A and B are shown apart, each in its own frame.
Chain A
Amino acid sequence: MVLASGLRPDSESRPDSESRSAPVVRLSQLNRYFQLGDQTVKALDGVDLVIETGDYLSVMGPSGSGKSTLLNVLGLLDRPTSGDYFLNGRLTTGLSESELAHHRQIAIGFVFQSYHLIPRLSARGNMELPLVLAGWSPAQRRQRVDEMLDRLQLSARADHLPRQLSGGQRQRVAIGRAVMLKPSILLADEPTGNLDTHSGAEVVRILEELNQEGITLVVVTHDQALGARAARQLRMVDGRIVMDQRVDSGAT
């Protein structure tokens, strides 16, 4: 199956090597229009984009430039008005709602500015949610979540509710949740937007670490400093990609 071979990032493959496998993302002439009254807003206007496995992208641009729409489309949360979107070589336009849900589950991880943790669930409960939805058994879940809590240095906070955690801890829980099922692409929308400098740096460090392990990382941000860390920097204006620049060595 195309799905099975394409969705798990192969740990052996080097990000920069020309592999035979399809790129994680290929957008071709992608449009996303919104109707506001009698005016059509072109949030995405003929976007062509290829993201290779292991890429580290930042997307910057002014408000309303289409960054968030791009992220939503990449995350299969929003459907393009026209154009093609290949995820791991497979055309996603025209898939049913439940097929899209399946792809979101196994191939995509989200990190939001406002964390989007469920307030009544503990850190552990929030982190294991993707595994619960995927039907893992409690024993399997416990092992996987324990590993992740340990890695994110949250073991001591496992049973705390989100309101008992600091912003940085909350975002770490959210990241743990996003990568729980080892997605091929991690989409982060202003991941440090609500954090102080120190917590923000910690979150960025974790994201970049995950990227080095082979997870493709896309960060949408207003923060020039954060955007400048990425190996590949996109700039969007009025729904178009106006700059696509590779920097030799992203700051690590």
Chain B
Amino acid sequence: MRFPDALAFALQVIRRQRFRTAMVMLALIIGVSAVNLLTGLGEGARRYVVGEFSSLGKNTLIVLPGKTETKGGMPPLVGEAPRDLTLGDGLALLRIPGMQSVAPLIIGMAELSSGGRVRDSLILGSTSEFFRIRQLKVKLGKALPDQDWDLAAPVAVIGTQLKKELFGTSSALGKWVRADQRRFRVIGILESKGVALGHNLDEVMLIPIASAQTLFNQAGLFRIFADVMHERQIPAVRQRMLEVVKARHDGVEDITVITQDSVLAGFNRILRLLTVAVGGIAAISLGVAGVLIMNIMLISVSQRTSEIGLLKALGATQSTIRNLFLGEALLLALLGAFAGTVISELLLALGRLSFESMPLQTPLWARLASVSLALGTAVIFAWIPSVRASRLAPVEALGSGQGV
């Protein structure tokens, strides 16, 4: 039997038995879409996180107070340190050869008020360098002044959302914002950037580092961001940073210096594993689809016993009949996998439209895996029914059921 004829024969069956075809295709569509959608979500989350951290810049190092003793794994996001990280530490880091800029950071919450409107907000205390390292831009006015770190100027740069909530549509530049017992004059408004590194920068107020120290009555820094001049200097500078701070902290190495790479590698690995895991769970539904295929093919074989007998009487060999049934299952699987892929791509495209920040996309490996799993499942589960069909004794097959 020629291949196109076998294909046409299988297509005939598929076209005539619409309900059966619809059931098998539905099962496969669900299975394939489940794999594609879930891995697409996982991949989207991974890319989102990676994108967030990439905004740090390749040359950025982050200094955290406290030390993780274990090698590898995630760096401590909340550190407990016996000694504070101070502005003096930051200035000492700035003197390391190869260091381009250093920005200290203090974070706190405060109740902000202006003209009767009150709102709790996140306050970031830092310096003008922070804008450059975190790639922040001001939409209106100017950034924090480039001045000595210990000068507690009463000025602030606020996010767009915060500006809207405190000042409405009226101009905010030059107005005063009260934070607890202190007042800050608004000198700039940030360009909207959305959520980055867990903070919605549209809702924060940036003030000079010394002002934050007095506002929160706290000398210790939350972080120090440090930019090196060239990416290749990172290992040497990192080593030097540890030594410098150790010398300043009575010979105890009590800080952690992380790079974008280490953070990314950690998240990347976890989220990739997660994606594979949910994809694997979704693949179970393909197995279930396989059981359905087997049942439906078994029913088909028993319904078409007399046809099988006839084909044998006309000289079809066992392998011809087996291949006809296998081909039919394979064709169904191919159609189902194709439809499932198209549907999941459409849903993900819809998801991308609704959540612009999430780059939802099924990774290539998952697309290939879902389709080949569907085909593989079809062949494996259709094998037994097909072989059963091919082994039917022609006499009994012809005897059963009345032909037309």
Contact = CB atoms under 8 A, between A and B. Distances in A.
Interface string B285-311: 000000000000000000000110111
A101 B1 contact: no
A112 B398 contact: yes
Contacts of A106: 315
Contacts of A170: 404
Interface residues of A, number: 34
A15 interface: no
Contacts of A115: 403-404
Interface residues of B, number: 28
Contact of B318 (A72, A97, A119): A97
Contacts of B309: 116
B65 to A, nearest CB: 77
B402 A120 contact: no
A50 interface: no
Which residue of B13, B313, B394 has the most chain A CB atoms within 10 A of its CB atom?
B313
Interface in B1-33: 1-2, 5, 9, 12-13, 16
Contacts of B320: 101, 133
Given A78-B395, A98-B318, A120-B16, A110 B1 contact: no
A120 B12 contact: yes
B306 A120 contact: no
Nearest to B314: A130
A227 B249 CA distance: 117
B403 A104 contact: no
Interface string A17-35: 0000000000000000000
B6 to A, nearest CB: 9
B315 A105 contact: yes
A135 B316 CA distance: 11
Contact of A132 (B1, B306, B307, B318): B1
Given A77-B394, A77-B395, A78-B395, A117 B315 contact: no
B135 interface: no
A104 B314 contact: yes
Given A98-B318, A101-B318, A104-B313, A133 B1 contact: yes
A72 B395 contact: yes
B319 interface: yes
B163 interface: no
A220 to B, nearest CB: 14
A70 B65 CA distance: 96
A153 to B, nearest CB: 20
A104 B318 CA distance: 13
Given A101-B315, A101-B317, A116 B398 contact: yes
Contact of B404 (A75, A101, A162): A162
Contacts of A130: 314-315
B403 A114 contact: yes
B359 to A, nearest CB: 47
Nearest to B15: A120
Given A116-B398, A121-B12, A133 B404 contact: no
A77 B307 contact: no
Contact of A133 (B12, B16, B315, B393): B315
Contacts of A114: 402-404
A129 interface: yes
Interface of B: 1-2, 5, 9, 12-13, 16, 306-307, 309-320, 393-395, 398, 402-404
Given A77-B312, A117-B403, A132-B1, 17 more contacts: A77-B394, A98-B317, A101-B320, A105-B316, A115-B403, A116-B306, A116-B309, A117-B404, A118-B307, A120-B12, A121-B12, A125-B12, A129-B314, A130-B314, A130-B315, A135-B1, A137-B2
Q: Lowest 3 A-B CB distances belong to which pairs?
A: A105-B315, A116-B403, A120-B16
